[in-house]
Chains A and B, each alone.
Chain A
Amino acid sequence: MSTVTAATKVTTIAARIKERAVAKPNVIALREKDLGIWQEVSWSQYWYTAELVGHALLALGIEPGDRVAIQSENRREWLYTDVGTVAVRAATVGLYPTNPVAEVSYLLRHSGARVLIAEDQEQVDKALAVADELPDLERIVYLEPRGIRYRYDDPRLLAWPDFLALGHEHRDANPGAVEERMAQTRPDDVVTLIYTSGTTGPPKGVMLTAANVEFAIHELVEHGGFTSPPPSSKDSVLSYLPLCHVAERIFSCWFGAGAGVCVHFAESIETVAANLHEVQPTILFGVPRIWEKIAAGVQIRVESASPVKRIVGGFWLRQADRLGGLLAENHGRHTPKTRLLYAAGYLFSYRALRDRIGVRKVRYAASGAAPIAPEVLRFFMGLGLPMHEVYGMTENTAVATANRPGRVKLGTVGEAHTGVELRIDEQTGEILTRHAGTFAGYWRDPDATERVIDPDGWLHTGDVGELVDGTHLRITDRMKDIIITAGGKNIAPSEIENALKASPYIKEAVVIGDRRKFLTALIGIEPDTVGHWAQLRRLPYSTYRDLSEKPEVIELVQQVLDEVNERFATVEQVKSFRMLPKLLDHEDGELTATQKVKRTAVAGAFAELVESMYGGGGR
């Protein structure tokens, strides 16, 4: 097991970026689309601004161990703040831009953040609404002045340029103060609090230390835990998932700091497809939802193309499926046969197709953060995308297992990284990990910490799994989500749900059946694809609810369900389903900020629907 030699010399992301700024000052580090063009930031500019943020934080009296919160979409200032905060030995707390007021209040109070960087009026309003309950919050720095400047007169408000001006003043008065503070960094400094999304109960703040992050950068970036060869300054990524999530932080911040990867910020989540097409990144990470959506989009657009394109495109999509299957059998490596087939497909379809969806230059693609249906991965492998499912969680700094290039096993989350000890609990089947990236504990919640880290240092992940062929880890489900039917059968719902969600028409599927006689499901349709499907059939509809309750749509879902049911044993088959009358939403508490379904909340909110499937009181 490799350990980080933390005691002697501590590197942080701040120190790494400073090094890059000296070594390659004019190489481009960040690009953000603003006013129609991709504005470039070099490494020296990156560090210059980040250091300025550090000085500004010092000017505001931030001490080592203090928390600095940021609630913003992905943009340059997010990284400046993160790096500047780490430089002055404080901890970054990321808030999702979609967090509603109640959660903002909870997160700010619980973390005790002294400074909040808020993106715009929307986020400032959320913070101001509860600011009086937050004694620790001293300053709110806003990035977009529109609607705030000249209208709000709260003394805590500070505009970003004024904030930087504070930094300028402080730097002129105390040159080198940030560097002095950086030199004092200790390996057990908490550099970030990452709040877990909390599918059950309130979010918990995971404390990651400087040593944790360094271990992750060492394993995942420098050691090439994901990509092969390891990432370099020739690579580029698109930053579009929330930076408060550990996965995006790895790809946007740590890949940049650790390997000099050029980061492009998408304009917003709606423009991801267009931005992907423009940026054509070489490394692409996505959550299952993103991959499912891209795959569904390809399917729909080929189906609705003109006749020749439909025939040719459809043919090569079927070949992609076959090709993906062949590649998966060979662990993602090409054989002469697949190479030949792929070359032909590349000429007729895949090159153009990959270009259109923005993945033509991708040399490494990964899916993580939630389980994904193997069919989706296979489809992308067939398109020639080196697709890898990876596994990790915030609590182990996302260092656990990954499918390595050329050693892919579909349906598994891959092999443990070199520096990782991994075992499966004999009794419960729970996956345990142990390495230097194991977090320091939950913020202000030692009881919860004790429950997940045992005295030997093993982290209890809460996932149930098994080893396939002794090397690759297959995850069954979250321990808490395992359904035990009235007949006493243990069933992993996520497998069934993902098989359903692999259909382009289904966006959400929640399988229910704990302590019940049989399994049922709540289904949410994908409005885009089903809407398109309805249009082709000249089926008029008004709202989402109207569409999902059409008998034809229900029949469509039934067909998907029948196909999926064939693949499962009788007890694992979904016997009945109901359509969700609305799109699940974060604001309504049905989804977490990362768009994961909160099962209990959904089952509670739609209890009547559930009961109707069990004949009123079918318990």
Chain B
Amino acid sequence: MTTRIGRPLLYTAYEQDMSLLNTPAKRGWTLILGLVAVSLPFLLQDDLLVVMATAFVAAIGAIGLNIVTGYAGQVSLGHAFFLAIGAYTAAALSGDPDSTRLIGFGITSLPIWLLAAGLVAGLAGLIVAPLAARLRGLYLAVVTLGLVFIGEHIFKHWRDLTGGVGVGRPAAVPELFGIQFAVDGATFTKAQKLYLLMFVLLVIFGVLARNLVRSRIGRALAAVRDRDLAAEVIGVDVTRYKMIAFAVSSFYAGVAGALLYVMIGFVEPGSFNLAMSVQYIAMILIGGVGTISGSVLGALFITLLPRVTRELPAVLPFISASSAAGGITVFQVETILYGLLIIGFLIFEPRGLFGIWIRVRNYWKSWPFSH
């Protein structure tokens, strides 16, 4: 279509207007971004690739939280609970069936345990959803907080499934088309394979979520978020859409949970605590509430942040690498940074990193005028 080069707004069909990449420029930049992302495994060190892969998985989880909190406006502190359900469903399904200590079914095919993890978590979300239909704001936050504590208790004590505190169990085994992703291969290292796998999964789940939120369901969710009473009046079935939001969000959390420990290869039941939920909230707040690309940006930011702070002791002598050395440790710096960043973003740019990007883009898009 040569007519639309330089004329991005000359839509001659609704398909063009509605398509995800509706201008030639967007198509071009997305292609470049995709190429860069695919070429990174051959440019970066393996340890950084593992961090990136973890960030991609976290992004899937953040997208999930953004659907329920950013789009549907239901504050959820229980994200860690759903991540845990996904992680253990996948680990149990692909676990060693001959093990006497742990439950295992030996199904190592990635699509099967990934889907199962999502579905089981989604089901759990569906069970919790009726609470959301009755509660709002702070009350809902407290109830979902309760979920995390119940979850923590169960996972600590259900040793057949989780292996128990301090012991844990092996994570899900990723195998697809006969390829084992979690071991070094002849042509690709483990990190390279995992990076590419997680990238592809993020693209798939990202596009699915993007299409969901710009459809009828997404508009209904936004209506519920903006004013549930008004949404009800214009014909949105609020209870139904709140349930959809929780189910979809939990599905994403389940998927993310299943993949999250594949990189380390080990799941520890103590990790699914409140701090993890807060971390995901930080991701969407810093990335951008109510945006898919913001979730991805936030997840990358939060996951890569520790990598940066680890370098601090070399630059700033008063920060120590471990608590034994005295002074302020990198872990404390990290926590302080989270806090400062969340406060800073809420005050100065509530739309998060995505909002900053929008501002930068609009500044240049409107050049040489201001509007």
Assess the B370–A279 pair: CB atoms within 8 A. Answer: no
Contact bitstring A265-283, B, C-beta under 8 A = 1, else 0? 0000000000001111000
Task: List B contacts of A278 (CB < 8 A).
Answer: 7, 9-10
Contact bitstring A446-481, B, C-beta under 8 A = 1, else 0? 000000000000000000000000000000000000
| A36-B17 CB under 8 A given contacts A31-B12, A278-B7, A280-B7 | yes
Chain B residue with minimal CB distance to A301? B369
Assess the A38–B368 pair: CB atoms within 8 A. Answer: no
Q: Does A599 make an interface contact (CB < 8 A)?
A: no
Q: Does B11 make an interface contact (CB < 8 A)?
A: yes
Assess the B6–A353 pair: CB atoms within 8 A. Answer: no
Cβ distance A441 to chain B, nearest Cβ, rounded Å: 43
Q: Does B14 make an interface contact (CB < 8 A)?
A: yes
Assess the A37–B368 pair: CB atoms within 8 A. Answer: no
Q: Does A22 make an interface contact (CB < 8 A)?
A: no
Cβ distance A382 to chain B, nearest Cβ, rounded Å: 14
Cβ distance B304 to chain A, nearest Cβ, rounded Å: 31
Contact bitstring A489-519, B, C-beta under 8 A = 1, else 0? 0000000000000000000000000000000
Q: Does B325 make an interface contact (CB < 8 A)?
A: no
Contact bitstring B352-371, A, C-beta under 8 A = 1, else 0? 00000000000000111111
Q: Does A134 make an interface contact (CB < 8 A)?
A: no
Assess the B368–A313 pair: CB atoms within 8 A. Answer: yes
> How many chain B residues touch A (Cβ–Cβ < 8 Å)?
17
Q: How far is the CA of A301 from the CA of B369 in the complex (A)?
A: 6
Chain B residue with minimal CB distance to A38? B12
Contact bitstring A59-101, B, C-beta under 8 A = 1, else 0? 0000000000000000000000000000000000000000000
Cβ distance B362 to chain A, nearest Cβ, rounded Å: 11
- Name the contact of A37 in the complex, choosing from B6, B11, B367, B371 (C-beta under 8 A): B11
Q: Does A349 make an interface contact (CB < 8 A)?
A: yes
Task: List A contacts of B17 (CB < 8 A).
Answer: 36-37
Q: Does B336 make an interface contact (CB < 8 A)?
A: no
Q: Does B13 make an interface contact (CB < 8 A)?
A: yes
Contact bitstring A342-370, B, C-beta under 8 A = 1, else 0? 00000001001100100011000000000
Q: How far is the CA of A309 from the CA of B362 in the complex (A)?
A: 13
Q: How far is the CA of A277 from the CA of B14 in the complex (A)?
A: 19
Cβ distance B216 to chain A, nearest Cβ, rounded Å: 18
Task: List A contacts of B14 (CB < 8 A).
Answer: 36-37
Assess the B11–A38 pair: CB atoms within 8 A. Answer: yes
Q: How far is the CA of A353 from the CA of B368 in the complex (A)?
A: 6
B-contacting residues, A300-315, CB 8 Å: 301-302, 304-306, 309, 312-313
Contact bitstring B15-35, A, C-beta under 8 A = 1, else 0? 011000000000000000000
Task: List A contacts of B16 (CB < 8 A).
Answer: 37
- Name the contact of A301 in the complex, choosing from B3, B7, B13, B370 (C-beta under 8 A): B370
B-contacting residues, A242-297, CB 8 Å: 277-280
Q: Does A316 make an interface contact (CB < 8 A)?
A: yes
Task: List A contacts of B369 (CB < 8 A).
Answer: 301-302, 305, 309, 313, 356
Task: List A contacts of B10 (CB < 8 A).
Answer: 31, 38, 278-280
Q: How far is the CA of A304 from the CA of B366 in the complex (A)?
A: 13
Q: How far is the CA of A277 from the CA of B8 in the complex (A)?
A: 9
Task: List A contacts of B366 (CB < 8 A).
Answer: 356
Q: How far is the CA of A37 from the CA of B9 in the complex (A)?
A: 9
| A352-B12 CB under 8 A given contacts A36-B17, A280-B7 | no
> How many chain A residues touch B (Cβ–Cβ < 8 Å)?
26
Cβ distance A299 to chain B, nearest Cβ, rounded Å: 11
- Name the contact of B368 in the complex, choosing from A28, A36, A349 (C-beta under 8 A): A349
Q: Does A40 make an interface contact (CB < 8 A)?
A: yes
Task: List B contacts of A356 (CB < 8 A).
Answer: 366, 368-369
Q: How far is the CA of A349 from the CA of B6 in the complex (A)?
A: 17
Q: How far is the CA of A31 from the CA of B9 in the complex (A)?
A: 13
Chain A residue with minimal CB distance to B2? A234
| A309-B367 CB under 8 A given contacts A31-B12, A37-B12 | yes
Contact bitstring A312-351, B, C-beta under 8 A = 1, else 0? 1100100000000000000000000000000000000100
Assess the A277–B367 pair: CB atoms within 8 A. Answer: no
Task: List B contacts of A302 (CB < 8 A).
Answer: 368-369
- Name the contact of A305 in the complex, choosing from B3, B9, B12, B370 (C-beta under 8 A): B370
Cβ distance A311 to chain B, nearest Cβ, rounded Å: 10
Q: How far is the CA of A444 from the CA of B13 in the complex (A)?
A: 48
Q: How far is the CA of A361 from the CA of B371 in the complex (A)?
A: 22
Q: How far is the CA of A37 from the CA of B10 in the complex (A)?
A: 8
Chain B residue with minimal CB distance to A278? B9
| A309-B370 CB under 8 A given contacts A37-B12, A37-B17, A38-B12 | yes
Task: List B contacts of A352 (CB < 8 A).
Answer: 367-368
Q: How far is the CA of A39 from the CA of B366 in the complex (A)?
A: 28
Assess the B6–A360 pair: CB atoms within 8 A. Answer: yes
Instruction: Please indicate which of the listed interface residues B3, B14, B371 has the most CB atoms of chain A within 10 Å of its own CB.
Output: B3
Q: How far is the CA of A290 from the CA of B6 in the complex (A)?
A: 23
Contact bitstring A122-137, B, C-beta under 8 A = 1, else 0? 0000000000000000
Assess the A277–B368 pair: CB atoms within 8 A. Answer: no
Task: List B contacts of A309 (CB < 8 A).
Answer: 367-370
A-contacting residues, B26-78, CB 8 Å: none
- Name the contact of A316 in the complex, choosing from B12, B368, B370 (C-beta under 8 A): B368
Chain B residue with minimal CB distance to A280? B7
Q: List 10 A-B contacts (CB under 8 A).
A: A31-B10, A37-B17, A38-B11, A279-B10, A301-B370, A305-B369, A306-B370, A309-B367, A309-B368, A360-B6
- Knowing that A31-B12, A356-B369 are A-B contacts, what are 5 other residue pairs whose CB atoms are under 8 Å apart, sorted by A's residue number? A37-B16, A38-B12, A39-B12, A277-B9, A309-B369
Residues on A facing B (Cβ under 8 Å): 28, 31, 36-40, 277-280, 301-302, 304-306, 309, 312-313, 316, 349, 352-353, 356, 360-361
Residues on B facing A (Cβ under 8 Å): 3, 6-7, 9-14, 16-17, 366-371
